[in-house]
Amino acid sequence: MPIYLDNNATTPMDPRVLEEMLPYFLNKFGNAASRTHAYGWEAEEAVEHGRENIANLIGANPNEIVFTSGATEAINLAIKGIFESSVKEINHIITVQTEHKAVLDTCRSIEKRGAQVTYLPVDVNGLISLQELQAAITKDTLLIAVMFANNETGVIQPVREIGEIAVKHGIHFFTDATQAVGKIPVNVKENNVALMAFSAHKLYGPKGIGALFVRKKNGPALTAQIDGGGHERNRRSGTLNVPGIVGLGKACELAEAELTMETERLTELRNQLESRLSGLNIVINATSAPRLPHCTNITFNDIDGEKLILEASSRVAFSQSSACTSATIQPSHVLKAMGLTDEIIHNSFRLSLGRFTTSEQVDMAIEVISKIVKSHQSERN
């Protein structure tokens, strides 16, 4: 199998997470909503334990965690839910051009129903201007929706300052923290976050389970997007995915315990990768911005980007654009918003390291990529 350097797309499940989940597929199979027997009680207890682990990681209270099928559903619940619960005139949302498609498409969906949406630009490093954010606020602004860390570049937005601006103006702050939770310190209270979406499969948990943090004190009202049974305090109906919740809870527990050590290790590996590739006529995108410790976005000059990724694919797995838009051969909207041309974007790649990436694997990946890039560049020169 090729060396895996696409951890922003998804992470492999940690064996310790799988071990925790397995009993809930087999002998502990109860429905957490079954209140009349031991099978249901056992499942409910597991769900609440998972909820506590998740809350501990992000500085929340357990009753502020709403389980969903993943970050995309959580994003839809947050944005559509708050829009549908608001007074008709208070319908303005501020977001950013470099948000994940789940946020952008959800915003475009509610625009068709009367929402007014401002899409803030970013600078060459992918960062918003706090002055432009403040200038965009009107008396009708309902929500500020800014991603915590970008999935393509790893750029970390000034979340604390955004939260302070939101509080100052009495506006709710939503952040898509799918790439940040479990990778860097995330505290919803310190950052004045009202709503936050994240997903298990980005932090070594299972696919198909995620959560939405909804602040309880002075938090927003949300209209449920799935009806039928009133689960999750009437915010998200449906039988709870008990094994998935157990897995997400365990993944959060492990992330909290190992965060500092992993941050240091992955920063060192990323620096090793960027340093060793620096002699290949490259540009590291957003290098002047705060970035996730495990992620780099690199432009290789004088190559054919499509050929590079095809030639490398049997030995190294990485991404030419964000995984969620790779089905369409369109230039990355993130890099485009940062001012890169289509040609440069075509030769730009995301390499994202993970918990199971070793220094030896990074060395091997560097060797493979360097050999292909040098071959391309010599052909063109």
Of the residues 107, 252, 295, 324, which is catalytic? 324
Band of residue 198 on the pLDDT scale cut at 50, 70, 90: very high
pTM (predicted TM-score): 0.95
Q: Pairing mode, if any, of strands 210-214 and 172-176?
A: unpaired
> Mean of the pLDDT values across residues 89-107?
96
Angle, vertex CA 53, rays to CA 85 and CA 61, nearest 5: 40
The DSSP code sequence of 343-368 is HHHHTEEEEE--TT--HHHHHHHHHH
Angle, vertex CA 223, rays to CA 221 and CA 229, nearest 5: 120
Contacts 24+ apart (CB under 8 A), 372-378: 372/308, 372/311, 372/312, 373/280, 373/300, 373/303, 373/308, 374/280, 376/302, 376/303, 376/304, 376/307, 376/308, 377/280, 377/281, 377/301, 377/302, 377/303
Tokens (6 digits) for 242 = 């008990």
Q: What is the pLDDT of residue 340?
A: 96
Tokens (6 digits) for 254 = 């492990």
> Mean of the pLDDT values across residues 38-56?
97
If phi over 0 gives left and psi between -120 and 50 gives alpha, with beta otherwise, what is residue 149?
A: beta
| Helix ranges (DSSP H) in the chain | 15-21, 38-58, 71-85, 101-111, 130-136, 159-168, 231-234, 242-277, 305-312, 333-337, 342-346, 359-380
Structural domains in the chain, CATH included, are 3-10+259-380 (3.90.1150.10), 15-253 (3.40.640.10)
Rounded to 5 degrees, φ, ψ at 46 are: -65, -40
> Mean of the pLDDT values across residues 168-172?
97
The tens digit of pLDDT for each residue in 201-232 reads: 999 999 999 999 999 999 999 999 999 988 99
Q: What is the pLDDT of residue 377?
A: 80
What is the rounded (10 degree) CA torsion for 348, 352, 357, 359? 50
Q: How far is CA 309 from CA 16, 301, 349, in A?
A: 32, 14, 9
> Mean of the pLDDT values across residues 307-314?
93
> Mean of the pLDDT values across residues 184-188?
98
Percent of the chain with pLDDT over 90: 90
Band of residue 322 on the pLDDT scale cut at 50, 70, 90: very low
> Mean of the pLDDT values across residues 371-375?
91
Tokens (6 digits) for 12 = 């492999």
The strand pairing partners of 349, in sequence order, are 298
d(CA 18, CA 5): 22
Q: What is the pLDDT of residue 328?
A: 57
* Region of poorest pLDDT, from 197-211, 325-339, 365-379: 325-339
Q: What is the pLDDT of residue 156?
A: 98
The DSSP code sequence of 86-119 is S-TT--EEEEETTS-HHHHHHHHHHHTTT-EEEE
> Mean of the pLDDT values across residues 269-289?
95
Query: Is 324 among the residues known to form the active site?
Result: yes
